[in-house]
């Protein structure tokens, strides 16, 4: 039993690997070897930085085809994190428009500039810090996590899913209904960083490790 | 609006021990960084900042090892600063488990380093530390300048302009320290905090001068800070993180309790 964190060259994978090791005795590996990825029992698709670079690196490391296949096969649980969530959708408006994996219908949008909250407070972009996630549908990955629990976010773009049934959690920021938790079948993906979200984040990772879809 | 304001305890670490100077003098020993980080994590700190104030090169390895140990036990964001001068330093700290690095002097001596770092690692992990000192007289329009070397060396750079430039270069967050207030316990310099917060779109962490919980409230409410950083009020047990969070929440601020 191995959990493979897919390393296509973007971002800091050590935090997520360390957090997984904290909640499981299963082997956690950071890898870009297609055989290791195919052979793993569970997959984590992380992502940090600009989506053009993430998609570009996924292409360059020749993992794009494999990731798409694995998503379609629905044979093992996959957890997308941050840009790893965004990449699952059809298209992002970041970097002038970037085509993504298109596993789920929907697009990735920018929060916009000059945002003002309901109390007149100026809202910053990136949306950085601990915000509440409202649970839209029940899911085994929500076990032991209260509705409205706070998770740690850092992002300027957010998912607008095409289908309500794919949305498992949402966060309100500046009046925007950001679909921060999405999934279908064996795939679950979050915009926030569970590996940096203290107890609730670790609970979500533990739920993922125990998930048998 | 549900995004919580953040409380960030800061560990100033010298040769593997947490210390906190008063105006960078009279250093007091406060303990083992890993134990202290774990304690703050248990108390519900929103992030932890680890500032390596060690001057000597050989102690850098100690720092990397400390960061590794903290990152293996504390699952909240960890920022590491002090001596970050090259992309290689950033890579080392991220590999050790840091989530963000804070760039200070190197940003002043070579602003392009910030641009390069943001392009390579993403703005989300690049914090630029701004050490500002008021240079205007009381009867003048307030003006602050950037100082380096623990507040001893002026650079002639206007703090607000500098903040804008660093954000344009890719800083994802600014850690603003008032060199007039640091270690004084007289409260944040609200003027410079508000001026910079209004000038840029990225989050601002206010630092320097916290002596009581009202100062934390003022940093957010009057200064417009998104996060507040403090060291000695937490290290020496005057207040716990939950004390601070409850107090800020009672004063109408959104907190993660």
Its ipTM equals: 0.91
pLDDT band, residue B122 (cuts 50/70/90): confident
Q: Judge whether A211 is closer than 8 Å to chain B, CB to CB.
A: no
pLDDT digit string, tens, across residues A16-60: 999 999 999 999 999 999 999 999 999 999 988 889 989 999 999
pLDDT band, residue B121 (cuts 50/70/90): confident
Give the separation between CA B132 and CA B190, rounded to whole angstroms: 12
Mutate to test the interface with A, among B4, B38, B74, B77 (most CBs of A within 10 A): B77
pLDDT digit string, tens, across residues A121-142: 788 888 999 999 999 999 999 9
Domains and CATH numbers, chain A: 2-210 (3.40.50.880)
Q: CB-CB: which of B2, B3, B76 is closest to A196?
A: B76
- In whole numbers, what is the pLDDT of chain A averaged over residues? 94
What number is the average pLDDT over the span A158-164? 98
Give the separation between CA B234 and CA B244, rounded to whole angstroms: 9
Q: Dig out the tokens for A165 from the structure.
A: 């049934």
pLDDT over 60 at B27, yes or no: no
Secondary structure class of B65 (helix, strand, coil): helix
Q: Is A108:A84 a contact under the CB 8 Å cutoff?
A: no
Phi–psi pair at B145, nearest 5 degrees: -120, 160
pLDDT band, residue B67 (cuts 50/70/90): very high
Q: CB-CB: which of A49, A130, A198 is closest to B122?
A: A49
> Looking at residue A68, what is its pLDDT?
98
**Interchain contact, B172 vs A154, CB within 8 Å:** yes
Number of C-beta neighbours around residue A199 at 10 A? 15
> Looking at residue A36, what is its pLDDT?
97
What number is the average pLDDT over the span B59-85? 91
> Looking at residue B1, what is its pLDDT?
56
State how far residue B34 is from chain A, nearest Cα, in angstroms. Answer: 16
Instruction: List CB contacts (< 8 A) between A195 and chain B.
Output: 75
Q: Dig out the tokens for B50 from the structure.
A: 């680890």
pLDDT over 90 at B56, yes or no: no
Q: Dig out the tokens for B233 from the structure.
A: 């009020």
Q: Tokens 């298209």 label which residue?
A: A91
Task: Please report, in angstroms and rounded to a whole number, the separation of the first and last CA atoms in chain A.
Answer: 16
Domains and CATH numbers, chain B: 6-250 (3.20.20.70)
State how far residue A73 is from chain B, nearest Cα, in angstroms. Answer: 32
Q: What is the CA radius of gyration of chain A?
A: 16
Q: Name the DSSP letter for residue A160.
A: E
What number is the average pLDDT over the span B86-109? 92
pLDDT digit string, tens, across residues B156-171: 999 999 999 999 999 9
pLDDT digit string, tens, across residues B158-208: 999 999 999 999 999 999 999 999 889 999 999 999 999 999 999 999 999
What number is the average pLDDT over the span B59-83? 91
Q: Is A158:A108 a contact under the CB 8 Å cutoff?
A: yes
> Looking at residue B177, what is its pLDDT?
96
> Looking at residue A55, what is its pLDDT?
95
Residue B208 gets the label, from left (phi > 0), alpha (psi -120 to 50) or beta, of left
Residue % of chain B over a pLDDT of 90: 73
Q: Is A178:A106 a contact under the CB 8 Å cutoff?
A: no
* pTM, two decimal places: 0.94
**Interchain contact, B75 vs A154, CB within 8 Å:** no
More confident residue, A141 or A114: A141
């Amino acid at each position: 039993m191995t959990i493979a964190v897919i390393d296509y060259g973007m971002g800091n994978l050590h935090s997520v690997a360390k957090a997984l090791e904290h909640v499981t005795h299963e082997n956690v590996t950071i890898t870009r070897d297609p055989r290791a990825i195919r052979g793993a029992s569970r997959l984590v698709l992380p992502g940090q930085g600009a989506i053009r670079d993430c998609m570009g690196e996924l292409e360059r490391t020749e993992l794009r085809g494999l990731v798409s296949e694995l998503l379609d096969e629905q044979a093992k649980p996959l957890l997308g994190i941050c840009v790893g969530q965004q990449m699952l959708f059809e298209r992002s408006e970041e970097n002038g428009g970037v085509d993504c994996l298109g596993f789920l219908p929907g697009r990735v949008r920018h929060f916009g500039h000059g945002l003002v909250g309901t109390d007149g407070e100026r809202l910053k972009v990136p949306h950085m810090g601990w915000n509440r996630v409202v649970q839209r549908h029940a899911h085994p990955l929500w076990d032991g996590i209260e509705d409205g629990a706070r998770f740690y976010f850092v992002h300027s773009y957010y998912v607008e899913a095409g289908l309500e049934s794919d949305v498992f959690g949402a966060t309100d920021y500046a009046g925007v209904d950001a679909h921060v938790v999405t999934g279908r079948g064996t795939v679950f993906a979050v915009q926030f960083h569970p590996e940096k979200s203290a107890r609730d984040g670790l609970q979500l990772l533990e739920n993922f490790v125990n998930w048998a879809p | 609006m549900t995004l919580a304001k953040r409380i960030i305890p800061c560990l100033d670490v010298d040769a593997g021990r947490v210390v906190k100077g008063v105006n960078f003098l009279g250093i007091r020993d406060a303990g083992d960084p890993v134990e202290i980080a774990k304690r703050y994590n248990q108390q519900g700190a929103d992030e932890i900042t680890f500032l390596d104030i060690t001057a000597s090169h050989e102690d850098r390895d100690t720092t990397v090892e400390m960061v590794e140990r903290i990152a293996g036990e504390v699952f909240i964001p960890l920022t590491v600063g002090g001596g970050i001068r090259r992309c290689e330093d950033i890579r080392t700290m991220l590999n050790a488990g840091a989530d963000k690095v804070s760039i200070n002097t190197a940003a002043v001596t070579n602003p392009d380093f910030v641009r390069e770092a943001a392009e390579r690692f993403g703005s989300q992990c690049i914090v630029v530390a701004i050490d500002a000192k008021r240079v205007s007289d009381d009867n003048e329009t307030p003006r602050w300048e950037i100082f380096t070397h623990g507040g001893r060396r002026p650079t002639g750079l206007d703090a607000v302009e500098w903040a804008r430039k660093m954000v344009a270069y890719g800083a994802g967050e600014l850690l603003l320290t008032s060199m007039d207030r640091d270690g004084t316990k007289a409260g944040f310099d609200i003027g410079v905090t508000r001026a910079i917060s209004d000038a840029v779109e990225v989050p601002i962490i206010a630092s320097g001068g916290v002596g009581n919980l009202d100062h934390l409230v003022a940093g957010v409410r009057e200064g417009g800070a998104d996060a507040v950083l403090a060291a000695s009020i937490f290290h020496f047990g005057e207040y716990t993180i939950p004390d601070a969070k409850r107090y800020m929440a009672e004063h109408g601020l959104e907190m993660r309790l």
